[in-house]
Amino acid sequence: MSTKPEIEFQEGPAPTELVIKDIVVGDGPEATPGAKVEVHYVGVEFDSGEEFDSSWSRGESITFPLQGLIAGWQEGIPGMKVGGRRQLTIPPELAYGPAGGGHQLSGKTLVFVIDLLDVVVPPEPPVIEPAEGPAPSELVIEDITVGDGAEAQPGSVVDVHYHGVEYDTNQVFDSSFLRGDSVAFPLNRLIPGWQEGIPGMKVGGRRKLTVPPELAYGPAGSGHQLSGKTLVFIIDLLGTK
């Protein structure tokens, strides 16, 4: 599967439901609903056969989390195995919506041929137990796992997975785990609780930070939806530079 595929169209009117056709069945790891996938693909319009997108034409594969894609991909890719090639015929409802939806492909049935090159299943988000007692007034740092890699310094750029909940309600407000993709950013652009709480961590470590409002988004009424709230994060340090 080192060459751009030819797309075979079914005869008759465009289908009203997702049609999945395996051209080649792979024998590698299987894509799951929350996975990040590396693919080569070509996409054409069902009615005209006109190509509208192709990683082959750009000369490089692309990697992305399935949950960020159109519904037809989210439903049609899971179950594929690495090394496989699959054709998806996707009605508008699972693509870019009905005609007039504001996208150039709105109202169109789309056909993709997809080669699955690799799959990365994201780690499960950590469980943060509901807090007991009053919220602390100072930053609390707890090492769950001590890493043995490079140490994060003040001002470092860190690559992390993280999961954040509100102290009082245990409600998740942000999670790279749930998005299926880690994130890298300079510490000096983050809330003070992270700027103080991450340095000293080593790659491979997991740390819990309980961050009072003064080190997060300020007191109630400061204009942020998390103003006045004590926040709890679990952070996995994947890399630092």
Active site residues: 162, 173-174, 191, 217, 233
Secondary structure of residue 57 in the 3-state scheme: helix
Question: Quick one: tokens of 111?
Answer: 């056909």
C-alpha to C-alpha distance for 209 and 212, rounded to whole angstroms: 10
C-alpha to C-alpha distance for 95 and 153, rounded to whole angstroms: 44
* Residue closest to 238 by CA, chosen among 176, 193, 178, 190: 176
Kindly report the backbone phi and psi dihedral angles of residue 182, in degrees, each rounded to the nearest multiple of 5, phi listed first. Answer: -70, 170
Instruction: Yes or no: say if 39 and 155 are a contact pair by the CB < 8 Å rule.
Output: no
Question: Quick one: tokens of 97?
Answer: 């919506």
Distances (CA, A) of 205 to 9, 20, 177, 211, 233: 51, 41, 16, 19, 14
